[in-house]
Structure 1
Amino acid sequence: MYKLPKEHGEKSPHQGEMYLLLEKGSEGWSKGKGTVNDTTGALGRTVGQLYSQGQNTEVAYILYNDQKPLDDFGDGSVGNSGGTRGHTKGVVLLDKNQGFWLVHSTPQFPPVRQAGQYYYPSSGVVNGQNFICVTYPLDRFQTIGEQLQINQPNVYDCDVPGSLASLVPSLAALCKKTHLSGHIFPRVKPVSNRSMTLTSKEGTKFISFAKGASFDQDLYHSWVAPSLQSDLLVQFWIRSTGILPSDCSLGWKVLDITLINPGQTFTFKASQDHSKWAVSPKAAGSGSGGGWVCVGDINRNQAEEKRGGGTVCLQDPVVWKAYRTAALECEACGGGTIQC
């Protein structure tokens, strides 16, 4: 899902809550129904399931975000985990049969379950945001929990009932130890980085890349590009300090995207987009299922080399085309702007 940024101009129909949707079996981006703040929209129907469950002992969930939602007192304060935990955002919701893992880029999202209802935060409206949501069978969630442990996420709300704790001990441990100081497992040296193939309920293969603080390198250039054996065009939040420029060393070109137009909606600068996604500039060889697309939660900057985070990648011709055509201009290695 691509949440479009707020377009300049009072008369613009794009006021920061419109979104594009890319569903399995579709031919490309389609205009989302309603807005991201509607409970009837794609995001509201998905995440909203958490609030309709109530205190259900047959459902487990993990909410994590380096910028947690407004506190319970509603005084406007924002929790920020700084550099102590991963720059990583997501939702895990599952029962004894299946569940979903949603990786996204929106600060202060979603609200805690105790809030009682779904809503989209104002902090995520102005800039573009990205979401990847995949339904997995139950047996994949132990691996997902292990990937999250590497990320060292800031878990701000969770519940893994006893009926599920023995089935997904990694998620149970993540929830139980989240409020302890230090690392999630302070007695065990955390894994630096790990990639795992995760097959969705319907058989689509995704690759989860998870890095911890000890990896201490750029996710995309040092690891994802050489792993996928592909150059990458990367969109990320460029309005922060220590931004890493485009890099053509090590045999792989990783170029920073500067201008975007997803789904031929309207053109906006990377500075208006808080999304973190990457796309291979060319489709792979015949029979390979198209080029690569990765959607994640970490930026290309010096500070985040030393923080946990990751991305989820897939190879699909329709998804690849949707993202590839969105990237219009990039920063060339050595400076200057080129057509992507």
Structure 2
Amino acid sequence: MLKFVLDVLDRLDDPRVDGAAMVSYLDGIAGESGLTRTERVRGGQGHTDFVQVRVPGTAGRTIGGKAPTLGVIGRLGGVGARPEVTGFVSDGDGAAAAFSAAAKLLAMRARGDVLTGDVLISTHVCPDAPTCPHDPVPFMNSPVDMATMNEHEVSTEMEAVLSIDTTKGNRVINHKGLALSPTVKQGWVLRVSERLNGLLETVTGEPSVTYPVTMQDITPYGNGVHHINSILQPATATGAPVAGLAIVSAATVAGCATGASHETDIAAAARYAVEVAREFGAGALNFHDEDEFATLLARYGSMRRLQTMGEPQPSEATA
């Protein structure tokens, strides 16, 4: 996996990188075209290129099979913040992990090692994204808003979502490496999946690290409340269960910092995504307990309101 990470980082560190360049790279690994696509989307602060990769499984939905489809989303504002900052930024780790996992899965498929279920991998490429103020350190912003990002990265075909994001700009997770969130589904913060947790230990060879998720973290961006970052924003755009895999540091590191990406941590995140895809498509892993979730709904009702912007505030009504 580290070979793919180094190749991906070398490409993403190019100030001229775009979605077409990454599609060309992945098509070369796959030995065929048609499994990857890119779309340029313009926003108020520039443009970014969304890239989606489809890796068909032996019994996946693509061929009419019954194996479930995993979504892997690399979350970020941008891989660079030019001209303010020169070079690849820490915030780009989510894209690097997603592209590396895609490269590995496509290489496996080309060799004949095909997983059972389909895997959809989505992320975006922007080498000159804006930054924005955030406490305790500045965030990377994006040329497009979060609703647009979810529209192009979250698919109704995804029956569970693993969201990978750099999550270093906080004082909540004081650990270097990877950390796993509880599963989030339809506004409910559920318990950490036992099997997802166990796989993290297998991949890292260390005791698993999880992190707390607040209710406001799983509400949509733009509602005026603090979010740890965008790692669980896909949960606002799907009814499927979502888990966040955070690439973290023991010290607080800004998303727009350069020289702050650790190749081995990115590789571990990508390996984890591959292992989750392997087990989820084969029916050996669940992101949540469906019976327990049904009990929560029956006793307490829907929490889908947390997936929305909620009630308009007086300042919004008069704006």
State TM-score, norm by structure 1.
0.29
Please identify which structure carries the higher strand content: 1
Q: Which has the higher contact order (CA 8 A, sep 6+)?
A: 2
Please identify which structure carries the higher helix content: 2
